[in-house]
Chain A
Amino acid sequence: MRLNYKMPRGFVKATLGVSLATFAFGCGGGTTVITDDQDLIVSNDRIDPQDWERAAADMSESLLRSPSVARIEKMPATLVISRIIPEIDEQVDTDRITKRIRIALSNSGKFETSTTEGVGGRPEDPYAKGSKDKEEFYNDTPVPARRADYSLSGKIISDKSRAGDVRQASYIFQLSLTDLRTGNAIWEEERRITKQGKKNSVGW
Chain B
Amino acid sequence: MRIMPSMLMTSVLAIGAIALNAGCRTVNTSEREDPIGIPNPVADKRVETDSGLRGIARIVSIRESETADGRIIIQVEVLNTNNTQKRFNYMFEWYDLNGIRINTPLSIWKPQQIQGKEVILLSGVGPDSSAKDFRLKLIEGK
Contacts and interface: CB of A to CB of B under 8 A. Distances in A.
Interface of A: 36-38, 50, 53-54, 56-57, 60-61, 64-65, 67, 70-71, 100-101, 103-104, 107-110, 202-204
Contacts of A202: 142
Given A64-B125, A71-B68, A204-B142, A37 B73 contact: no
A109 B123 CA distance: 21
Contacts of B106: 57, 60-61, 104
20 contacts: A36-B109, A37-B109, A38-B139, A38-B142, A50-B109, A54-B108, A57-B105, A60-B105, A61-B106, A61-B123, A61-B125, A64-B67, A65-B73, A67-B67, A103-B105, A104-B104, A108-B71, A108-B128, A204-B89, A204-B142
B105 A53 contact: yes
Contact of B105 (A56, A70, A110, A204): A56
A109 B127 CA distance: 9
A53 B128 contact: no
Contacts of B142: 38, 202-204
Nearest to B69: A70
The B interface is mostly helix, strand or loop, or mixed, namely: loop
Contacts of A101: 105
A65 B105 contact: no
Contacts of B69: 70, 110
Contacts of A104: 104-106, 127
B29 to A, nearest CB: 24
A105 to B, nearest CB: 10
Most A CB within 10 A of own CB, among B87, B104, B106, B108 = B106
Contacts of A56: 105
Contact of B110 (A54, A60, A110): A54
Contacts of A36: 109
B104 A107 contact: yes
Contacts of B87: 204
B93 to A, nearest CB: 13
B4 to A, nearest CB: 39
A37 B90 CA distance: 11
Nearest to B139: A38
A67 B127 contact: no
